[in-house]
Amino acid sequence: MSDANPFRSLPSVTDVLAVPDLQSVLADEPRELLVEAIRAELALVRERLKAGENLDGQATAEVLAQAAAARLRKQVEPKLRRVINATGIVLHTNLGRAPMADAAADAARDAAGGYLNLELDLETGKRSSRQDAIREWVCRLTGAEAATAVNNNAAATVIVLRALCQGKEVIVSRGQLVEIGGSFRIPDIMAVSGAVLREVGTTNITRLRDYEAAITPNTAALLQVHCSNYRVRGFTESVPLADLVALGRKHNVPVIDDVGSGALIDYARFGFDGEPLARDSVAAGADVVLFSGDKLMGGPQAGLIAGARAHIQRIEKDPLMRAFRLDKMTLAALEATLRLYLDEGRALRDVPTLRMLATPLAELERRARRLAEQLAALPGVASADAVSDVAFVGGGSLPDQTCPAWVVEVKAADVSDEELALRLRRHQPAVLGRLRDGKLVLDVRTVFEAQEAALVAAVASSI
Ligand SMILES: *Cc1c(COP(=O)(O)O)cnc(C)c1O
């Protein structure tokens, strides 16, 4: 056919839809989306023709069908994909923070795919509270009298301040007016909750008498916020929790302690210091203690609230509880995670966050050397060397402390470090590392051993 008018010889959507290769696509994907993809490809061809390109036989129904199928496949790919985390950052907020224990993932899956006694007491057959699933475990692990849980620690902060302090003043040290990230700032949270922020002290020094001088009949609480993601060093002074509690008792004002990261076991064993334990906070007499479920605890995203029964009851009666409460999958995963902690040895073995942090350096070195050897053997890899390094824990915790690490530094023969990183991000599963001095750095601590083969395969197909 002569192409006197190339536009006129373009196939129609119906022509393209009739191409035999597309019938299997039609079996899997909605026709509407396929039609959309064909239209998009046709529009592209028209643009090219308009720009004067000679498409000479390239704009056939078959060619367009293939292009449309590729476009559609890309379009319907899930947005959330598996990632192999080779950054060494155990709690990588952009990668979903804590990977959950198998028991927790199983519990979430079971809860998701069936029915469960979410709000039903199986003994009495009567309605119960969904919080019963975690109350006893949190109390046991923290020593608190009562407990409840919401969607995250940000929500916990809002609901605690609202339920206990709305319309009244809350005293906070200026050294603790933190921004956790993503515009979650204590002063803003205070405003949202309807409590009035009463700042005392200075950035570096706050003394007990600063708190005491600020207490009035309108004071609803003394709030301590753990400086999870920063440290104030040098000429500094803050008030120990026990002193704050004594002051609160004297004036009949409750103390709220936002411990943030929610370590349930002492992180000193991993060589980190300064992470408060919820248990210590309860023992020191804090009336309400808040912490995250998916930071150092290593569970699902959640905000745990432990404390005196009267306070917990008020919090649960707050109308926001309905909006902030956990769904069945998260609750199931949270309960399973908490139960692992009933036996510390089991938690260390089964909670991935703890297991990764507890991996001996010699073991990391062995894994890095093994990975380096496999990568170096790939055609297209110029060099792959195991070297010792340092890494951060992440997740807005332990900001000033690194842990020793072993990494593999990879250099491709013909691909730049940035291009290699891009291809690895596009790979399925995606692989995320770090870039340094023109090399791709893969930290083995956060790579599950079962993912090592997939990691090597991803690099092999990206160079
Ligand atoms: C992380 C953190 C929060 C916010 O917790 P999310 O669970 O991320 O909402 C609040 N307070 C402190 C002190 C924190 O460290």
pLDDT tens sequence across 198-221: 999 998 999 999 999 999 999 999
Which atom from ligand 1 is nearest to the alpha carbon of 395?
Answer: 1
Q: Distance (Å, rounded) from C-alpha 136 to C-alpha 227? A: 28
31: tokens are 């026709």
For 222-242, how does the pLDDT look when each residue is reduced to its tens digit (9 = 90+)?
999 998 888 888 888 999 999
CATH fold for the domain made of 102-350: Aspartate Aminotransferase; domain 2 (3.40.640)
pLDDT the model gives residue 316: 98
Instruction: Tell me how far apart the alpha carbons of residues 332 and 324 are, in angstroms, rounded to a whole number.
Output: 16
**Among 117, 106, 108, residue whose Cα is nearest residue 332:** 108
In this predicted structure, what is the pLDDT of residue 4? 65
Mean of per-residue pLDDT scores for the chain? 95
Q: What is the pTM of this model?
A: 0.93
Residue at 389: amino acid letter: D
pLDDT tens column, 284-307: 999 999 999 999 999 999 999 999
The answer to whether 178 and 227 are in contact (CB under 8 A) is: yes
Backbone angles phi, psi at 407, to 5 degrees: -130, 165
| CATH code reported for the domain at 83-93+357-460 | 3.90.1150.180
pLDDT number for residue 1 = 46
Could you identify the atom of ligand 1 that is nearest to the CA of residue 259? 13
Instruction: Report domain extents, the chain.
Output: 6-75, 83-93+357-460, 102-350
**Pocket test residue of 184, 275, 294 for ligand 1, highest count of atoms within 8 A of CB:** 184
Q: Which atom of ligand 1 is found nearest the CA of 229?
A: 15
* Separation of alpha carbons 310 and 205, rounded Å: 33
* Residue 283 alpha carbon to ligand 1 centre in Å: 21
- Asked whether the beta carbons of 257 and 281 are under 8 A apart, the reply is yes
Which segments in the chain show pLDDT lower than 70? 1-4
Q: How many CB atoms lie within 10 A of CB 269?
A: 12
Q: How far is the CA of 420 from the centre of ligand 1 (A)?
A: 34
Tell me the three state secondary structure of residue 120.
strand
Instruction: Determine contact, residues 364/406, Cβ cutoff 8 Å.
Output: yes
